[in-house]
Chains A and B, each alone.
Chain A
Amino acid sequence: MRRIAYRFLAAINPARADQARAGTGTLARSCWAQLGSCPGSRQRLLRKSLLCAVLASAAFVPANAATRPRYGGTLRVMFQSAPNTLDLPARATPTDYEGTTYWDTAHVLSLIGDTLLTLDAQDRPQPALATAWRSDNSRRHWEFTLRRGVSFHDGSVASPAAVAQILAALHPTWNVHASADSVSIDSDAPLPSLLAELALPRNLLLKRNANHLPVGTGPFLVAEWRPGNLLKLAAYEDSWAGRPFVDALEIEFGKALRDQAIALELDKADIIEATPQATNTSINGSQRPSTSSSSSFSSSLPVELLALVFSSNSKAQDPRLRQALALAIDRKPIQSVLLKGAGETTAAILPNWMTGYSAVFSTQANPQHARALLAGAQLPALNLSYDPRDPQAQLIAERIALNAREVGITVQVSLSGAEDIRLVRIVLPSPDPTTSLAEAAAQLGLAQIGHTQQTPDDNSLDELYLAERGLLEGYAVIPLFHLPLETAVSTRVRDWQPDPMGGWSGPGFALADLWLADGRQASPAPDPRHEAGSQ
């Protein structure tokens, strides 16, 4: 139990966790003190969600979890996606975000490289390659002090010049300069969300070797890469955050969810993707997951948005028709039955835990109003497509079509033909709502369908709300659900810390920190990542 509390504290405030580990304060006092430092509603939400997470973790922690970590072993991970490259597109289009390939690649790359900093679930920046940062009042000039003694996997020093070169290549509009121990970024326009931007996976500081494979400063380096099939990562002995406990990481791509579940059942995989069907009860009523009873499941915060997006050449150009469709959809049965109660219904892009105002956007179905809107209108038959790799998408799409039929809208669920509506899942990658909103708009292609991407100038809630309201105007997008990312882990894996944001390298939730039960006994090394940054 003490270990669980320590994990919780490390997730919230690594510095305080270090103090607790060093015996400079009681663990419990440190936890509650940390919760108390969170502001307003977000504090209450955070307390609830994290307490739930702690209790859930406690339920799955095996009795021998208190044993010391072991080095060695190979962690086996499976993905449904099959990326053919270990690159993230510099300017991703909505097509690039389809499926999970983009974010799975991002997860993998986050093991190889580091960003300057990371954000915790409370949207607070945490040091990574940068140990400190500051900006002027106009937020046009930023300076980042880099961690000393960090080297890339190829042995080259992660010097400010090298970092500046990578950043400049990623952001040609920025003026990036290197000094002795820091990197400065200048921009003509204010960059109020620069820290959240730099924490995104696309800003991982990666170089490319002769084989165009990524070379970073992260805990793992690329050992073998078979595009679309297999990626083997080896532990980086000289990682600035300390050597990972596992010796290697073997990631198999292109594995169907069912195959992943079977592999986990047969103890051929350690970490797999999971769905609500797998994590909930079976029809026999027993609390028996479809995978092995000895495996554990973890869910992130609802950071995925399931939404309907009207294509630019959709036959549903009439906003009244779109609004009628939005009013026709009864989200609750879908959430309770098809999604097994996972996630939450929504009519907003950003989840309530991120903004606190999503209840303003009504999710209530209103077929009568929908029929009234459609009175006398010519209704074209609409084609609704979905991602066939998404095991829940087809049923959800069919249910939506059924709801639509109730109000007189003909929606045909099909994977072929010209699509009028797409059922898409997008990831809200940042706990920073402004950044997530911008990312969501980019993933949904709202700029392409006539919406000017509206980014609030500052982080005020009103501006954020107005920006989100603006994006939803015209019903080009109909948000449906915010869903968590689900992961199933075998009992062989120890100290698996579910990342609230679903990532693999968040502060306190690094995959590099887990160890395998059948590894070698070893003494844990101090974690140099737990250094405070300043702003």
Chain B
Amino acid sequence: MSFRKKLLLLFAVTVLLCVAVISASVYSTIRHSFEQADRDRADAVAAQFRSEFQRRGSEVERKVESVAASETVQRIALDVDRGASDSSAYVSAAHMLAAQQQLDFLELVDWRATILSSAQWQAKFGYPEAAIADAATPPTASPAGAFLKREELPDSATLGLFAVRIARVAEQPLYVIGGERLDQAFLSTLDIPTGTRVMLYQNLDPNWNPKSLLDLNGPAAGSEKIAPLVAKVRDTQKESQGVIHWSSDPADAEVFHAIPLTGPALGPSAQSANQPGGTQQLMGVLLVGSSRRPLIELQRQIISTAMLVGGIGILVAVLASVWFAARVTRPVVSLAEAARRVAAGDLGAKVEVESRDELGELAVSFNRMTEDLAQQKDRTLQAERVAAWRELARRLAHELKNPLFPLQVTVENLMRAKQKSPQMFEEVFAESTTTLLAEIDNLKTIVSRFSEFSKMPQPQRQPTQINDVVRSVLRVFQAQLQEQSQISVHSDLSEALPEVSVDPDLLHRALQNLVLNGIDAMPEGGVLTIRTARLGDRIDDRINARIEISVSDTGAGLTQEECSRLFTPYYTTKQHGTGLGLAIVQSVVSDHGGKISVESAKEKGTTFRIELPCETGHWQTGRT
């Protein structure tokens, strides 16, 4: 990644991070504020509910007190005390009295806890009233305060706010139990803040009952989503809070505060709900819900603003990076370009020094470094040239010395024969001239090889099937190999090779040298293997499809040092080699844009691998 891109990325990330941090901070603050507002509203509604509960409780108490003090109840109490058994006269009394006092529930219960008259369930006369009957000791005085109580009705049960008063005209008490429903009508009396709603779950059944969840309009819809929150309160009997998602839109969600409402477990004889330590049971759950829509909409606004700011920031970052690139990265880019030129071999590349800061100092250092490198290269080239001439001289001397010695000996023999035995001179002369001619041919051969190496031709490319070249090479050696029956040839040629643009003659010559090397490496016999294969199937900047030609022998193998010097001109491991064969091979392969490598293991053999690019077009070779 370029420095410019990194700079752009850095700028963008920095801007985004800043925007994100600011947005998160703002959102967190706002959410905290909303949550606090939710809590405050829930607390306010709960307080209002308790206040209304208290007020309505007092009202119920007052109404029940009025009923207990009424002439009708006093007369009934007197009748009951006298032992009157005919309750038919009272059966509708509670209904009438409840209507007068606008009570939803009213029961007249005698001292045996038997219902004499019930307003809410007129047919229940004669049955025991659980609130009195279940009490350990029936109350002897009117209990203070109102309390929550489950009330059975003909077709259902409901929750009510009750009060008990005792009408005692004579000896035996007459209990007056009156109350009002705690339902949607009760909820409608609460002053609910905007964006808040209230629901009441009447805990009447051991299991969740959706019909018991009431809002201002009656049974609440979608109650099953409230169920887990209510269940949690039922389990813990403690206030709880939860977010209810009504739809996939988060703005439709509501935060609910669930507040437990408890009442005495065994009716009015148990301790009042308001008294600590009394046996309490969960009678209902007050649910105060606050819509998350304002919060979510604000959140969305923050996000959209943040995205807008972020986008603008990125744009600014791009512009800034361009400007910085122009101002800051130009010396760096020049330096990088100069470095690339140096890497490509142009040691004359210079960087313009525009400033005296670190980048300017770096440019000066770079220029100094390239000058040093150029001088170093010149010195190296000069030294190499001298070394090459020395090596060439050494090789020439060595090569020429070998035929010169027989020439000297032959000439000396001729001279001795001329002096000592002229009669044999003719015979010696004939033999010596033959020898001299042979050695002179040998010298010519040596000279022609050097000449050939110095005049390697440019490849004449044409579409060529590599396998055809390989087969033609094998045909050249076919007769020789048949004579040397101890060497077997194994060819493994891939048929999926494409045509490539190569010079078939040069490639033939290179392969011929490799095969010849292999045969020479196996004087005791062995297996010569030639393989062709296609390497890679993807063509891009890095990996080109290539063709591999490998020539393997099972000869004595080479040492590591031998392998490293194998392609050096005039280096040979043979007794009569010129050391130019593999150098020629490498030159051919290099001229075709390929590369050659060798793998060898002692006593196992040697493998030469040629990799050629399989592009069919022509390419620039490295040879000039």
Contact = CB atoms under 8 A, between A and B. Distances in A.
Contact of B89 (A281, A338, A401): A281
A280 interface: yes
A337 B75 contact: no
Contact of B122 (A283, A336, A395): A395
B126 A337 contact: yes
Contact of B72 (A283, A341, A401): A283
A401 B125 CA distance: 13
B123 to A, nearest CB: 4
A282 B88 contact: no
B96 A398 contact: no
B249 interface: no
Nearest to B87: A337
Interface string B469-513: 000000000000000000000000000000000000000000000
Contact of A414 (B121, B123, B155): B155
Given A337-B87, A399-B123, A283 B92 contact: yes
B123 A412 contact: no
B86 A412 contact: no
Interface string A413-426: 11000000000000
A314 B126 CA distance: 30
B613 to A, nearest CB: 88
Nearest to B85: A336
Given A284-B72, A285-B75, A337 B88 contact: yes
Contacts of B92: 283
A413 B96 contact: no
A402 B123 contact: yes
A340 interface: yes
Contacts of B246: none
Contacts of A338: 88, 91, 123
B154 to A, nearest CB: 5
Contacts of A333: 125-126
Interface residues of A, number: 21
Contacts of B90: 283
Contact of A401 (B76, B79, B86, B154): B154
Interface string A324-350: 000000000100111011000000000
A66 to B, nearest CB: 36
Nearest to A403: B123
Interface in A291-305: none
A340 B88 contact: yes
Contacts of A399: 123
A331 to B, nearest CB: 12
B127 A398 contact: no
Contacts of B96: 283
Contacts of B181: none
Classify the secondary structure of B's interface with A. loop
Contacts of B123: 338, 395-396, 398-399, 401-402
A413 B155 contact: yes
Nearest to A414: B155
B526 to A, nearest CB: 96
Nearest to A334: B123
A401 B92 CA distance: 18
Nearest to A336: B88
Nearest to A413: B154
B100 to A, nearest CB: 13
A283 B86 contact: no
B339 interface: no
Nearest to A397: B123
Interface centre among A280, A281, A282, A333 (most CB of B within 10 A): A333
Contacts of A284: 72, 75
Nearest to A281: B89
B124 interface: yes
A398 B154 contact: yes
B91 A402 contact: no
Interface in B68-89: 72, 75-76, 79, 86-89
A282 B89 CA distance: 6
A280 B88 contact: yes
Contacts of B91: 337-338
Nearest to A412: B155
B93 interface: yes
Contacts of A282: 89
Contact of B124 (A280, A336, A402): A402
B124 A283 contact: no
B336 to A, nearest CB: 89
Contacts of B87: 337
Interface in A379-428: 395-396, 398-399, 401-402, 412-414
Contacts of A414: 155
A19 B128 CA distance: 61
A326 B159 CA distance: 32
B88 A398 contact: no
A284 B87 CA distance: 12
B260 to A, nearest CB: 29
B71 to A, nearest CB: 9
Interface string B103-147: 000000000000000000111111100000000000000000000
Contacts of B154: 398, 401-402, 413
B155 A336 contact: no
A469 to B, nearest CB: 30
B195 to A, nearest CB: 39
A281 B88 CA distance: 9
Contacts of B122: 395, 398
A403 to B, nearest CB: 9
A337 B155 contact: no
Contacts of A281: 89
A283 B74 CA distance: 12
A399 B76 CA distance: 22
Interface string A217-256: 0000000000000000000000000000000000000000
Given A283-B93, A395-B122, A402-B127, A341 B155 contact: no
A333 B116 CA distance: 12
B525 to A, nearest CB: 100
Interface string A81-109: 00000000000000000000000000000
A399 B91 CA distance: 12
A398 to B, nearest CB: 4
A283 B75 CA distance: 9
Contacts of A283: 72, 76, 89-90, 92-93, 96
B606 to A, nearest CB: 95
Contacts of B88: 280, 336-338, 340-341
Interface string B217-259: 0000000000000000000000000000000000000000000
A284 B155 CA distance: 31
B375 to A, nearest CB: 110
Interface string A254-296: 0000000000000000000000000011111100000000000
Interface centre among A283, A285, A338, A340 (most CB of B within 10 A): A283
Contacts of B127: 402
A398 B89 contact: no
- Leading 5 A-B pairs by shortest Cβ distance: A399-B123, A398-B123, A337-B88, A283-B93, A283-B89
Interface of B: 72, 75-76, 79, 86-93, 96, 121-127, 154-155
12 contacts: A282-B89, A283-B93, A283-B96, A285-B75, A333-B125, A333-B126, A336-B88, A337-B91, A338-B123, A402-B127, A402-B154, A413-B154
Given A283-B92, A333-B125, A412-B155, 6 more contacts: A283-B96, A337-B87, A337-B126, A395-B123, A398-B122, A402-B154
Interface of A: 280-285, 333, 336-338, 340-341, 395-396, 398-399, 401-402, 412-414
